[in-house]
């Protein structure tokens, strides 16, 4: 029988991930700041606890999937580390700063537990069907310990070594590239439409030829339809990720001038009242600049 898993964070991504694990037979102990979100899991046998340390079993595995560094640090406390204790593993799957996971790794090591960074690429629908792409980093033995769990959640696990923050750098770099793809498609669409070419014609041609891949196909459909109300990844979270990427780049003296443009696009979008839109609403900035209404 699969070993029990402690799971903290039942938001857009965390809930379908926990449901996936539950369907695979993992007994769950769960915590969420809003306990009502745990109802679908509890109805199928999960145990809802009242505080983060209570999800842990001695020497067990705890997964966190939270919105940002502050939320993660709020639950990944000394009390949780003590509850895990020697041999325990905290799989930190949130998109956070590499520095945050490095700090947590030192904190948990004082209690004999390990931290494995395991951020994911994929939207909630991918989380619920085991189609995430997962990056890992951290000590080798704990990574091997959690791999069977990650294999249930993802279609591929890519290891980036023993520096626990490395997987987070990869995640931020990947999100930067995703965001840049949205911006380039938006700017190309503006160029086409200002010259009498519908953006649908442009993007359908390009995504069937030079850019025929998941990212361009998925985001081009949203840009064509100007459909940003269905939120898979909230716009403020995208700004958070780009801000983390910019801080990491600054800390390591890695110039990323285009990243600053993307950060400004997101700040502008929030200033214009788009904070409840999907991250792809970044594209509206290019249309605004050109005097177009999408």
In tens, the pLDDT along 105-156 reads: 999 999 999 999 999 999 999 999 999 999 999 999 999 999 999 999 999 9
10 and 152 both lie in a single domain? yes
Q: What is the mean pLDDT of the chain?
A: 97
Residue 108 lies in a domain: yes
pLDDT for res 136: 98
Burial of 73 (0-12, 13-18, 19+ CB in 10 A): middle
Residue 294 lies in a domain: no
- Cβ atoms 124, 12 nearer than 8 A: yes
What are the pLDDT digits (tens) for 224-269?
Answer: 999 999 998 999 999 999 999 999 999 999 999 999 999 999 999 9
CATH value at residue 100: 3.40.50.720
Which of 119, 139, 161 delimits the end of a domain?
Answer: 161
Task: Tell me the pTM.
Answer: 0.95
Number of domains within the chain: 2
132 and 239 both lie in a single domain? no
Which of 132, 161, 190 delimits the end of a domain?
Answer: 161
Helix, coil or strand: residue 24: coil
* Angstrom distance (rounded) from CA 244 to CA 240: 6
Helix, coil or strand: residue 129: coil
CB atoms within 10 A of CB 51: 12
* Angstrom distance (rounded) from CA 282 to CA 85: 43
182 and 240 both lie in a single domain? yes
Phi then psi dihedrals of residue 113, to 5 deg = -100, 160
152 and 173 both lie in a single domain? no
Residue 256 lies in a domain: yes
Phi then psi dihedrals of residue 224, to 5 deg = -60, -45
**Domain of residue 267, residue span:** 169-289
152 and 253 both lie in a single domain? no
CATH value at residue 277: 1.10.1040.10
103 and 183 both lie in a single domain? no
Residues recognised as catalytic: 171
Token look-up 């079993």 returns: 57
């Amino acid at each position: 029988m699969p070993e029990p898993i402690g799971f903290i964070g039942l938001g857009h991504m965390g809930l379908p991930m926990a449901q996936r694990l539950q369907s695979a037979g993992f007994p769950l102990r769960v915590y969420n700041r809003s306990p009502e979100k745990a109802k679908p899991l509890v109805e199928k046998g999960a145990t809802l606890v009242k505080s983060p340390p209570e999800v842990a079993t001695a020497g067990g595995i705890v997964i966190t999937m939270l919105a940002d560094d502050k939320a993660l640090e709020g639950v990944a406390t000394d009390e949780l580390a003590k509850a895990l204790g020697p041999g325990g593993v905290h799989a930190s799957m949130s998109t956070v700063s590499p520095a945050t996971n490095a700090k947590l790794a030192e904190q948990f090591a004082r209690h004999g537990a390990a931290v494995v960074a395991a951020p994911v690429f994929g939207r909630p629908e991918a989380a619920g069907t085991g189609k995430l792409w997962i990056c890992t980093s951290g000590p080798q033995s704990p990574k091997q310990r959690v791999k069977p769990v990650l294999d249930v959640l993802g279609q591929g696990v890519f290891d980036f070594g023993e520096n626990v923050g490395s997987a987070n750098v990869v995640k931020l770099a990947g999100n930067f590239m995703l965001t840049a793809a949205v911006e380039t498609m938006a700017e190309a669409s503006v160029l086409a439409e200002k010259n009498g070419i519908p953006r649908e014609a442009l993007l359908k041609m390009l995504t069937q030829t030079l850019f025929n891949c998941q990212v361009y196909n998925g985001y081009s459909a949203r840009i064509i339809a100007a459909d940003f109300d269905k939120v898979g990844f909230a716009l403020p979270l995208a700004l958070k990720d780009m801000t983390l990427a910019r801080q990491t780049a600054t800390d390591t003296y890695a110039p990323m001038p285009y990243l600053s443009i993307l950060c400004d696009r997101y700040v502008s979008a929030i200033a214009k009242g788009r904070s409840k839109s999907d991250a792809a609403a970044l594209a509206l900035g290019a249309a605004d600049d050109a005097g177009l209404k999408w």
